[in-house]
Amino acid sequence: MTTGSTERIPPALRTEALEQLLTERGLIDPDTMDRIITTYETNVGPLNGAKVVARAWTDPEYRRWLLDDGTAAIRELGYVGRQAEHIVVVENTATTHNVVVCTLCSCYPWSVLGLPPSWYKDPAYRARMVREPRRVLSEMGLDLADDVRITVHDSSSEVRWLVLPERPAGTEGLTAEQLVPLVTRDAMVGVAKVKAP
């Protein structure tokens, strides 16, 4: 195999081949790998963050608490763990849009957002979002009006940020359970808006 030829092999196939090789050599246990994957797919991930957002949208007291002390309010729902030691929550409104980046590495609140997407770790996203957020957001499919103020929050090892997205119009009669499926990871990072059903 020549240098660069692995770029043509889909990542899923490369991952499967690597897992098989490590299993054959006794370096990993497939059952353990399955448990880890299941944990991040079901117990840790964007669904947790969506539940936090939906509760804040339907419970004004919880919303105030979340914006005042995100770590405690999120912990109350049972979402603790890796990179959730100190989470600050900021709210998007019709006139203010918040977006999160980690300029140094990829600090990210795993317990509420799951594994960080590849674009979040990309050096271009990390550098450009700070310099030209409106343009990067537009390239990612989010066009904001010129009068919307954009604030970029830099996550670090001390503080992780979570965006409380703006609740979409037409969802006033929905319950928290009905709102959860509408909330995406990208909206909680601030690179997208939540769409009405």
DSSP 41-71: IIISSHHHHHHHHHHHHH-HHHHHHHHH-HH
My answer on whether 128 and 101 are in the same domain is: yes
Catalytic residues: 102, 105-107
Tokens encoding 13: 């196939």
My answer on whether 126 and 33 are in the same domain is: no
Radius of gyration of the chain (CA): 19
Is residue 195 within 8 Å of 182, Cβ to Cβ? yes
My answer on whether 67 and 15 are in the same domain is: no
- State the amino acid at position 147 in one-letter form: D
Structural domain boundaries enclosing 20: 10-42
Is residue 164 within 8 Å of 91, Cβ to Cβ? yes
Minimum mean pLDDT range among 42-46, 66-70, 73-77, 113-117:
42-46
My answer on whether 75 and 22 are in the same domain is: no
Is residue 129 within 8 Å of 99, Cβ to Cβ? yes
My answer on whether 137 and 102 are in the same domain is: yes
140 part of a folded domain: yes
Q: How many domains are contained in the chain?
A: 2
Taking CA 88 as the corner, what is the angle to CA 151 and CA 185, rounded to the nearest 5 degrees? 75
The yes-or-no verdict on residue 190 having pLDDT over 70 is yes
My answer on whether 34 and 113 are in the same domain is: no
Taking CA 173 as the corner, what is the angle to CA 145 and CA 137, rounded to the nearest 5 degrees? 25
Q: Residues within the annotated binding site for Fe(3+)?
A: 102, 105-107
Q: How confident is the model at residue 35 (pLDDT cuts 50, 70, 90)?
A: confident
Comparing 92 with 28, which gets the higher pLDDT?
Answer: 92
My answer on whether 115 and 28 are in the same domain is: no
